[in-house]
Structure 1
């Protein structure tokens, strides 16, 4: 999705961003993530993002295996900042919005703040390639990706818009499938932290093949 802001590199993004920790949520550069915001602290976060003018939110997964001394879940060290590109009010106090991914970041330091939501200092420089659209997509094994997608759809009695799949560029296809994948936090984090698009596609193929093999041997029912 085209966005009005032009982000050419880390200097175009703030070093301190608000974070929205959400288990199983995967946002990738130029990917779109719908969100239903209803908690007061995150409603305040959205208001502040517009008040500050940048409309940016950092999506990151909480690490369920570790907690801070006060019991607050620790965060994984890599997330993705997104710009609010659509916003609607529900009429019952919620915001319905869509984030468009800009760049991944590494968490440098969580700040002590008065806001009800968490804020961190982040570093975008390890992910300079995120600012270049379709970087490395010619190296993706598209045929292998479509083969495993077909197997996954058949195993779970699902359908897909094949016209849309066939016309999608490799970057959009890989990232959309990764974001929509039904896997857990560790797998989603591995997809996020993949060094390049080719590796992300390979991880997605491998995880899906393992999931399909597990279902075949265990007799687990397909996804509903």
Structure 2
């Protein structure tokens, strides 16, 4: 089984990962019918955390229980508590997984945590702003690689701002190759605009034969 791993920590921004976890966990629009990447929450411990919105989450796993061979993606949400030293193990894990080519999606304050760890010093990235990253301090020396864009994908790392939840979902889905091109375009346009025409296009794209429905050739 391949999983979507979501790091959870106190004050995490509930809303930032809603689109991407819903699609990866359900697999409802995957081009390979019946496939999904179940969501597993990961904490520094198995103590419950409370999100920014007041939702209580008890982590499924701890960081030291993770193995890269079952990872589809690691998602790092924004939170007010990223400065706490106790989160260093997940940053070290992120360094290792990026080196292995595993997709990592970081949004809002998670990008600042990566920057402070020195993980953005030599690769294109974005965040809430360059000034925001500099305020975090730490080992950040990547200003020359900062891109004033809504979202940046560099290899297996995807970074975006606090307002980039939908964009993050699109980039992760594209990076993992789980949607067809037509499905991804229609899905994104529907949630971006709310126009029902795009929803019909989304349904039409799913009516086309997927890999598991291809007729056998003699």
Question: More strand by proportion, 1 or 2?
Answer: 1
Q: Which has the higher contact order (CA 8 A, sep 6+)?
A: 1
Q: TM-score range by the shorter chain?
A: under 0.3
TM-score (norm 1): 0.23
